[in-house]
Amino acid sequence: MSSIAVPGALAPRRTWHTDLPVLLVAVCWGASYLAAKDITTARTVLAVLVLRFALVLPVLGAVGLRSLRALTGAQWRGAALLGLILSGVFLLETYGVVHTSATNAGLIISLTMIFTPLAEAAVTRTRPTAAFLGAAALSVLGVVLLTQGGGFTRPSAGDLLMLLAALVRTLHVLVMSRLRSVRGAGALPLTTVQLGTAVAVFAALSAGAGGPAPWAAAAGFGGREWTGLLFLSALCTLFAFFVQMWAVRRTSPSRVSLLLGTEPLWAAAAGIALGGERLGTPGVVGGVLVLGGTAWGRRAAD
pLDDT digits (tens, 9 = 90+) for 23-36: 899 899 999 999 99
Per-residue pLDDT at 225: 94
Residues in Cβ contact with 14 at an 8 Å cutoff, skipping those fewer than 6 apart: none
pLDDT digits (tens, 9 = 90+) for 131-175: 888 888 888 888 778 776 544 456 789 999 999 999 999 999 889
Q: Compute the distance between CA of residue 192 and CA of residue 292 in angstroms, rounded to an integer.
A: 34
What percentage of the chain carries pLDDT values higher than 90?
Answer: 44
- Per the CB < 8 A criterion, the answer to whether 185 and 71 are in contact is yes
pLDDT digits (tens, 9 = 90+) for 64-97: 899 999 999 999 999 999 999 999 999 999 999 9
Task: Give me the mean pLDDT over the 203-208 stretch.
Answer: 92
Q: Is the pLDDT of residue 7 over 70?
A: no
H or E, element range at 229:
helix 223-230
- Count how many Cα atoms sit within 13 Å of the Cα of residue 172 in the half-sphere of its side chain: 22
**Cα 65 to Cα 42, 73, 74, 191, 236, distances in angstroms:** 35, 16, 18, 12, 22
Q: Chain-centre distance of CA 38, in angstroms? A: 18
Single pTM value for the model: 0.84
If you average pLDDT over every residue of the chain, what do you get? 85
pLDDT digits (tens, 9 = 90+) for 103-135: 888 888 888 878 888 888 888 888 888 888 888
**The CA-based dihedral angle spanning residues 26, 244, 232, 179, taken in that order and rounded to the nearest 10 degrees:** -110
H or E, element range at 122:
helix 112-124
**Cα 234 to Cα 18, 84, 220, 228, distances in angstroms:** 20, 22, 20, 10
Q: Compute the distance between CA of residue 272 and CA of residue 243 in angstroms, rounded to an integer.
A: 27
pLDDT digits (tens, 9 = 90+) for 226-275: 999 999 999 999 999 888 878 877 776 666 776 777 888 888 888 888 88
Q: Is the pLDDT of residue 300 over 80?
A: no
Name the residue with higher pLDDT: 280 or 248.
280
Per-residue pLDDT at 236: 94
The percent helix, strand, coil of the chain (3-state, each to 5) is 80, 0, 20
- Per the CB < 8 A criterion, the answer to whether 108 and 159 are in contact is yes
